[in-house]
Amino acid sequence: MRAVVFERYGEPAQVRDVPDPRPADHGAVVRVEATGLCRSDWHGWQGHDPDITLPHVPGHELAGVVESVGPRVRDWRPGDRVTVPFVCACGTCASCAAGDHQICERQTQPGFTHWGSFAQYVALDHADVNLVAVPQGMSFATAASLGCRFATAFRAVVQQGRAGAGEWVAVHGCGGVGLSAVMIAAASGARVVAVDVSPRALALAREFGAAECVDATGTPDTAAAIRDLTGGGAHVSLDALGSPATCAASVGSLRRRGRHVQVGLLPSPDGTTPVPMARAIALELELLGSHGMAAHTYPPMLELVEAGTLRPDLLVTSTITLAAAPDALAAMGTAPGSGVTVIEPWG
């Protein structure tokens, strides 16, 4: 099969022929019809993820068709249309038993713990636990966008952030995750403040339901700007980018007893990120992490997508071929882009 492979961190990846994967006894091999290009893939390419072993094939947002299954798989057959969360759970550990598959103690992640979906085929573990049926009317590009950014945003806004109708929700960073969060929060009846440095990203945020937008380039203190716009601060604030500055601004933008949700990864040279804990203590803030979404919790989100209440298809702003993926991956470091870029490996 053809796949995007990198041999060294931060050096150009190449598209080349590699062996086809085989399914584990409990797993499946999926023919990849669409896969998202995500900033997390860029972090992996930069060497920020300790699970990656070189050489490596990135890619963790995907949708496609089951090609083959292992002998222990009961629920899936070749030809089934599927997607998958980027966290593949084992289904048997204590966290899985509690329903918290997204923090499985023995999780695997395509594109991180093993070769991923920037390829024509990808192997996925524990198929009966992790595969999600793609509705017949949904495109593979739309389904691929659900697996990381949209599902992560849905959990961050609805399940972790508990955003309610009439509340103010601030979203720091309007890439794929951030724009998804804007759309989901607005559909939940919240009033959204979107923050970004890109006029194009802010225009999309307006289109997807943001009530207010803050251009961080021309605003020296975005937290203060949000507190002014919302009459005291956001009830919920998400750092959807992942930087010390956006994390601090998200916490700083909250009102008393507000809820900060950290979604974007926070790599830094010394492994730590300063968080304004004095404010968290004084205002009794909640500081929450959000890490994907379990496959068994997809149905409410899919119902909203099928009803047209949520439109993840509108987030797909670019479609590229596998040959274009190495350059697009490298560009994520300096120009993350607006919306979601989808790779079609058979294109």
Q: Residue 169 domain-assigned?
A: yes
Same domain, residue pair 240 and 325: no
Same domain, residue pair 54 and 114: yes
pLDDT on residue 47: 93
Q: Residue 153 domain-assigned?
A: no
Q: Residue 307 domain-assigned?
A: yes
> How would residue 144 be classed by pLDDT, with cut points 50, 70 and 90?
very high
> How would residue 224 be classed by pLDDT, with cut points 50, 70 and 90?
very high
Same domain, residue pair 199 and 334: no
What angle (nearest 5°) sits at the alpha carbon of residue 57, between those of residues 265 and 85?
55
Whether the predicted pLDDT of 60 surpasses 90: yes
Q: Is this prediction's pTM over 0.85?
A: yes
Same domain, residue pair 39 and 111: yes
Alpha-carbon gap, residue 188 to 190, rounded angstroms? 6
Same domain, residue pair 58 and 124: yes
* Domain stops at, among 289, 304, 329: 289
Same domain, residue pair 239 and 313: no
Per-residue model confidence as pLDDT tens digits over 100-139: 999 999 999 999 999 999 999 999 999 999 999 999 999 9
Look up residue 216 and give its DSSP letter: G
Same domain, residue pair 168 and 128: no
- Structural domain of 140: 2-148+293-344
Q: Residue 154 domain-assigned?
A: no
Residue 214's φ and ψ, nearest 5 degrees, are -125, 120
- For the chain, what is the domain count? 2
Peptide bond into 199 cis (omega under 30): no
